[in-house]
Structure formats: C-alpha cells, structure tokens
Amino acid sequence: MNSTINMKAEHEKVWGECLAIIKDILPPQAFDVWFVPIRPLSIEDKKLTLLLPSSYFYEMLEDRYCDLLFMVLNRVIGTGAKLNYRVMMTNSGDAPTLVDQSGGRRQNAGQGQTVFNPFQGHASKKVDSQLNHNYTFANFVEGVCNQLARSAGMSIAEHPGKNAFNPMFIYGGSGLGKTHLANAIGLEAERLNPNLNVLYVSANKFQTQYMEATRNNNSTDFLNFYQSLDVLIVDDIQDMASRTGTQNTFFHIFNHLHQAGKQLILTSDQSPNVLQGLEHRILSRFKWGLSAELVPPDFNTKKDILLNKVKAEGLLIPEDVVDYIAGAVTDNVRELEGVVSSLLAQSILINAEINLDLAQKVVGKIANTTSKVVNISKIQEVVCDYYNLEVNDIQTKSRKRVVVQARQVAMYLARKYTKNSLTAIGELIGNRDHATVLHACKTVAEQSEIDKELRQSLDSIEEKLR
C-alpha cells in the first residue's frame, strides 16, 4: 500500500517538474491544448508512462513536441530517460481500451540513436567571432558614465559564464559605446582563452538567419550552432520586439547557454524594465545578471575621449579647440569622434591648420546634419508618401487594404522609433486605442517575417526616416 503511494507520488512529481518547464517554454494556448490533458501513470527505470486521450492526440504530440519532451525528460530524470504512452482507443462505440505506444517514434528510439537535447553541449569547430577588432578595452575611455559597465566587462572577459554578471545587459542612448564595450569584452575573452567560441551578432542579423533557416528547413542546425557557443553577444536586442518566432527561438538558446554556464552579453537602447514588444519570460531573464547603464559622458570624460582620438589619428589640436568641442557636443561619443575626423578632413582639404574657427564651422555643420528628429508626424508623412496617400487617409476609419496597411505600418514604426506610449500613438494615428496599436505592431512584425514585399517596403520607408 505504502509502496503504491510512493510510486504514484514519484511519477506525479516527475511529470509536475516536466510541466513546469514546458509551461515556461510554450505559449499558454499550446500548453493547455497539448499538455494539460496528459496524465502520468507510472515511472520505472527512468521510463515514464503517460496516458493520452486519443490516437490523434498521440500522433500530434509525437509530431510537434517529441524533441521538447525528451529534452525536458533528460533534464528532470537524467540522461537515458525513456517515454511510454498508453493511448485511449475507441472502436465502433465500444468501451475505450488502452494501447501502449513507445515515445520518440520519430527519433527511432530504442535503435541506438540519441535524441537531440539542447540542454547538452555540442562540439563545434572554432567559429568566426565577427568581432570588430577596433573596439578594444585599450581605446574604450573610462569615466563616471561607464565605470561600472567597464569594470564588470573586464571581470566577464576573465571568467566568462563563471561570474555574477550573466547575462550582462548593457543599455543606453545611441552613440554612448554599447557596441564598443560589448566587442571589447568578446575580444578580451578570446585573447585570454583562444579556444572559446565567441560570437557577436546584431538582433537584426539573428532575425535574418532565423528566417533563412526556417525557410530552408535548417532550424535544428541553426539551434545547434548557437547552442555550441561559449560567449554570445547580441547587439540591439530591442530589434526583436514583436517578432514572436525569433523570440521563441532565442528564448531556447538563452536557456541552454545560461544553464550550461556560458556567457550572454546583450545591448539595448532601453533598460529591461521599459522595453516593449518582448515576451515577459525573456525580459525576466534579462534581469538575472547585471543591467549596466551607459549615460552621456561628463565634460572631463569627453575631453579624454577627444584626446584619445586625437592621439590615435596622430593630430595636434590646441587645448582650446578640444575644450570647445567637448562643451559643444553634448552627449554623443560617436559625434565627438566624428568631429575629430571631420576636422582632419577639412584641414587637409583647405590646407589650413586646425584652430577654434575651423572647429566652430565643423561642429556647426555636424549639428545641422545630426539634428534630424523622427517623430510620429514625420513617420506618417513618409509612410503616406510611400503608399501614395494623404496623411488624412490613415486618420479616417477607411478599411481599404492599402490604407489599413499604411496605418499599421505607421503605428509599427512609431513604436519602434519613438518613445511614445501605445495610447499616445493611437491618439495621433487615427484616434485608435492602445489595443489596436498593439495588434497593428504584432501584425506587421509577424507578416514581415514571411512577406518579402512588406519587408522591402519597411526597409525603404525606414531608409527615408534615417
């Protein structure tokens, strides 16, 4: 009697642990349809027996979730876990009978072939890191604005994956050095341990690779490659917003690498607390490690950045010119370096020495060319021009296909390029509510993954906005 109770408790406990993992991975609807109806029956010698409601259910479960089931079983029970089903069969109105079926049919279970398990490491040859070798710690100027992030980055490079900063989430405005710091960490980690597989990839490139892998039925190879890495650096993670398929795949990669003690480094223009369009389960993981903000540099840090750039270019620039540039360029490191390069070019072009007068002219020109502001009004103008519409057209209730698409694209781009709330975007684009805006953003994001024409339209419109 007690033995039966203990056995029952064991298989229910094991299946409960499996369900907890699966629920965290799958969308709620899929979990409710395909896993809630399953009942655990017994467990013996690492073989778990599950009761399924029908043969159709068995076929669909094997086809869709076989890999996932074995992945989770191997994690909960251990390597060598086996699965057996008892399927409810009904024939011609007779009482239902139970028929045994082995799990992992598609994997040829029992024939010596191992089931792919993303929680286990996969040997891989050395990969091309795609790191920018100009972005090193040596030329990353330290200041109050980045001191914490730089110190943490050095610690990560020395012990990737074996530190308290995993993942490291670097965030801040454009041009503050996020990409530079992320690359510097990767380069230093490679220098200290040449055998590490380090990869730098932008979120947009990751998205493109995922789409190509899906189109070419290479999703498993794609997953295997990313799960073989020791250090994964993803730049501009906010670009995955509203891309459900990409986020789901990245979620699995993140889980595998983190649990295997591998290092993840992510950059974004906003902190995880305010990022929109990313699933909650992903955002919660971004907060597991260190979130390090890069803020605009103070005057002294800007001077140090300028002097570092001047030294690298082999220039001689008077101190009053350096002081002027540091004071005139308010908060963008990239713009600071751009001023020095422009000063050098202008000096050579007109054969003149670099002085305060030349610096004032150069800074004035750069300020004029970098002051382009993307707001909702501008987005509506560019979108409507592309679709040969008037701005008033997308403000109406019209359900014409071209008007609807233009309206949805405008909402999608407004969310991507501005910091307005969904409610504010809706009010400015046709006086819609926030739910309509959210639906539009999701629709455009999902369709752009499979609709080449829409993707090209978005690229053209975004090029005009830049």
pLDDT digits 0-9 by tens, 295-349: 888 888 888 888 887 777 677 788 888 888 887 776 677 777 778 778 877 777 7
User: What pLDDT, on the 0 to 100 scale, is given for residue 89?
Assistant: 60
Work out the average pLDDT over 279-286.
90
Higher-confidence position of 22 and 200: 200
> Is residue 218 over pLDDT 50?
yes
User: Is 80 exceeded by the pLDDT of residue 456?
Assistant: yes
pLDDT in tens, 161-174: 988 899 999 998 88
Choose which CATH entry (1.10.1750.10, 1.10.3720.10, 1.10.357.10, 3.10.20.580) describes domain 376-465: 1.10.1750.10
Higher pLDDT, 60 or 77: 77
CB 188 within 8 A of CB 200: no
pLDDT at residue 405 above 90?
yes
Calpha distance 188→199 (Å, rounded): 13
How far is the C-alpha of 262 from the C-alpha of 221, rounded, in Å? Answer: 19
Task: Tell me: pLDDT of 61 over 70.
Answer: yes
Judge whether residue 369 has pLDDT over 70.
no
What φ, ψ does residue 395 adopt, rounded to 5°? -85, -15
- Weakest mean pLDDT among 278-292, 332-346, 450-464: 332-346
Vertex 333 angle, CA 327 and 339, to 5°: 65
Res 356: pLDDT: 81
Q: CATH number of the domain at 147-294, please? A: 3.40.50.300
pLDDT over 90, % of the chain: 26
**pLDDT higher at 357 or 105:** 357
- Rounded to a whole number of angstroms, the CA Rg of the chain reads 28
Q: What is the pLDDT of residues 18-43, one digit of tens each?
A: 898 888 877 777 788 888 889 998 88
- Span 2-107 CATH architecture: 2-Layer Sandwich (3.30)
Q: Is residue 5's pLDDT more than 70?
A: no
Which has the minimum average pLDDT: 351-360, 404-413, 424-433? 351-360
| CATH 1.10.8.60 domain extents, the chain | 299-369
Q: Which pLDDT belongs to residue 282?
A: 92
Tens-place pLDDT, residues 79-89 = 888 888 887 76
4 has a pLDDT exceeding 80 = no
User: How many helices and strands (H and E) does the chain possess?
Assistant: 19, 9
Q: What is the pLDDT of residue 286?
A: 92
Give yes or no for residue 384 having a pLDDT over 50: yes
Q: Looking at the domain that runs over 299-369, which CATH code has it been given?
A: 1.10.8.60
pLDDT of residue 125: 67
User: pLDDT value at position 331?
Assistant: 60
Pairing mode, strands 263-268 and 39-44 = unpaired
Write out the residue limits of the CATH 3.40.50.300 domain(s) in the chain.
147-294
State the average pLDDT for the chain: 82
Residues of the chain with CATH 1.10.1750.10: 376-465
Q: Give per-residue pLDDT as tens, 100-136.
A: 555 554 443 333 333 333 334 444 468 889 999 989 9
Residues of the chain with CATH 3.30.300.180: 2-107
Pair of tokens at residue 144: 């109050």
Cβ neighbours of residue 238 closer than 8 Å, sequence gap 6 or more:
203, 268, 269, 270, 275, 277, 278
Among 321, 327, 325, smallest CA distance to 354 is for 321
Which residues does residue 101 pair with via DSSP β-bridges, in sequence order?
Answer: 85
